[in-house]
Amino acid sequence: MHAEAFWGPETAAALRNFGEGSTPAPFVRALAEVKLACLRAVQETERRWPDEVFAALEAACLEVAAGKYPERFRLPLMQGGAGTSLNMNMNEVLASLVGGLDPIEDINRYQSTNDVVPTAVTISLYRLLTEVEREVIELQEALVAWERQSENLLMEGRTEMQSALPMTLGQVFGAWAGATERDRWRLNKLKERIRTIPLGGTAIGTCFSAPQRYIYAAERALRSITGLPLCRSQNLPDEISNLDAWAELANGFALCAVNLFKMCGDLLLYTSSMVGEMEHPRLQAGSSIMAAKTNPVILEHVRGLAVHVQGEAWKVGQYAAAGQLQLNPFLPHTCAALLSAGEALQWAIAAFRTRFLDGLRVNAARMERNLAGSLAMMNALTPKLGYHRVKELYEKAPSPPASLEELAALVARETGTPLEEVRSWLSPGRLAGMNGGNA
């Protein structure tokens, strides 16, 4: 069978103009669901088709939504025309599956590309946002678990890449968990921002040619089909002409990526052979020539994906700004960028949690040795002994102490302070400020 029989002349023209690709499955599913909702609304309000024809039409929509005919959706999202070709492709495919129906008069009845395609974008991106939010929640929970199990493990805190003050590893993980908690809050709020749809607004939000009964029926049907808390916008011209809500979603993804990039950058230092306080899981060969080597492949991979997410988010802002008058023709490009950003972010978070955090090892001995011999301890003991006295102690020591116990013995010996009292000065709660500092 000739390929064009699977769709029609408008899809064939779009393939010539934009090239052959593959329309993302989440978008195809969403657009088929939108068509099903519209067709159910038409049948409910005017009984346009015989029962057996409508049953076949419903079945075709459900099969497409389930991913049964991916070979019939070969258009890339990166295209001109605000998605008209995507809409026509769906119309032609559904008409060809049922037979005897017109792609425009039947499948596209009371619809415009400008209300059904944005509605499909909303559905596909709302689902993606929910999946990304779930990954962020699981990451936050994993970081909090690390925070709790590491709350008494002392380490060196650093500012500007230099020794600063003692803190606990739990506080380090707590800081990362705090940033992730904000990501979780932002993404949850974004679900409210992007759940409005322009369905029924047709071409420019004036509801041209769409009966009111049909509009309400289509909205109800779509909520039932998708199970999502969608609601028709109260300002349909705004919903069709402006894409700033998608730019806001892109910024939410970008901020998650920023936090991931920073977190992985910290961990690259902690797991480096120079610091060595943590160990990256040994997941694969580190070198083709150096046998004894582990590379931080997951941290590097996540940082690379984070840059990609931020780049796609920047593109969405540019697309949103490029709309003119009553329509933004760059909605398909916007959807492509957000799908790419969201999927990359979802993968990055999952890889970081399951491939890195789950196998992360802490080198407590190295952590204590780095702390005991660092200038951070000078700063921590200053309130008790005074800056100059502490400096004398460090200059007097033949070599940096290798442990906190060795440091305590040195201080007790040189100052005449009872060893137990010095040990209390070096307790995790006191050094890390968990019991009111050095009081």
186-213 per-position pLDDT tens digit: 999 999 999 999 999 999 999 999 999 9
- Cα–Cα distance between 389 and 395 in angstroms, integer? 10
Which pLDDT tens digit goes with each residue over 160-186?
Answer: 988 888 899 999 999 999 999 999 999
DSSP element (H, E) containing 351: helix 331-351
Domains and CATH numbers, the chain: 3-109 (1.10.275.10), 128-196+236-363 (1.20.200.10), 373-431 (no CATH)
Which pLDDT tens digit goes with each residue over 313-325?
Answer: 999 999 999 999 9
Structure confidence at residue 412 as a pLDDT band (50, 70, 90)? confident
Please compute the mean of the pLDDT values over residues 367-385 and round it to a whole number. 81
Largest CA distance in the chain: 100
Backbone phi, then psi, for 362, in 5-degree steps? -105, 130
Please compute the mean of the pLDDT values over residues 111-120 and round it to a whole number. 97
37 pLDDT higher than 80? yes
- Cβ of 324: how many Cβ atoms within 10 Å? 9
Which pLDDT tens digit goes with each residue over 212-227?
Answer: 999 999 999 999 999 9
Where does 99-242 have alpha helices with state H?
113-149, 169-193, 212-226, 236-241
Please compute the mean of the pLDDT values over residues 138-160 and round it to a whole number. 94
Which tokens is 139 given? 């990451």
Q: What is the DSSP letter of 399?
A: S
Residue 42: predicted pLDDT: 98
Burial class (CB in 10 A: 0-12, 13-18, 19+), 304: middle
Q: What is the DSSP string of 275-292?
A: T-SEE----S-S-SS-SS
Instruction: Pick the more confident residue, 264 or 435.
Output: 264
The one-letter amino acid code at 333 reads H
The one-letter amino acid code at 415 reads T
Which of 243, 260, 247 is CA-nearest to residue 350? Answer: 260
- Cα–Cα distance between 251 and 245 in angstroms, integer? 10
Q: What is the C-alpha R_g of the chain?
A: 30
Residue 437: predicted pLDDT: 46
Structure confidence at residue 1 as a pLDDT band (50, 70, 90)? very low
Where does 7-149 have alpha helices with state H?
9-18, 25-46, 51-65, 84-98, 113-149
Structure confidence at residue 286 as a pLDDT band (50, 70, 90)? low
Opening angle at CA 279, ends 275 and 281, nearest 5: 150
Residue 438: predicted pLDDT: 45
The mean predicted confidence, pLDDT, of the chain is 91
3 pLDDT higher than 60? no
Which tokens is 112 given? 């415009």
| % of the chain residues with pLDDT over 90 | 74
Q: What 3-state class would DSSP assign to 157? A: strand
Q: What 3-state class would DSSP assign to 159? A: strand
Residue 4: predicted pLDDT: 61
pTM score, whole prediction:
0.91
Residue 433: predicted pLDDT: 75
Which of 19-23, 272-276, 296-300, 433-437 is predicted least confidently? 433-437
Residue 107: predicted pLDDT: 97
| % of the chain residues with pLDDT over 70 | 95
Residue 287: predicted pLDDT: 63
Please compute the mean of the pLDDT values over residues 360-372 and round it to a whole number. 91
Residue 285: predicted pLDDT: 67
